Amino acid sequence: MQLDQNPFFRKAITPWYDSNFACWTLIISMMGVFAFAILGILEGIASPEFHRHIWFPSLLGGLSLFLVIKVFLRLRRRSKNT
């Protein structure tokens, strides 16, 4: 028995939250969060009473940078497939 093969080759429809515009908007906004985290780290290093709170901007910067890398890799992988 043969499999029913569809002769139509359609492009996959991506949801709005995974569109190129939404991904680039997310990358740009997360770069702003990363810059804000760097400023927080610099301020925490400059004043001795904030040394114990440097973990929070470090975590914020690391997570935003991780998200930028993941979304950029998703965009790159999608552009190679099309």
What is the distance between the alpha carbons of residues 29 and 25, in angstroms, rounded to a whole number? 6
pLDDT tens profile 33-75 = 999 999 999 999 999 999 999 999 999 999 999 999 999 999 9
Q: Is the pTM of this model over 0.95?
A: no
Q: Which residue has the higher pLDDT, 47 or 2?
A: 47
With beta carbons less than 8 A apart as the criterion, state whether 56 and 33 touch.
Answer: no
Q: Which residue has the higher pLDDT, 18 or 30?
A: 30
Position 77 pLDDT exceeds 80:
yes
Position 4 pLDDT exceeds 90:
no
pLDDT of residue 17: 84
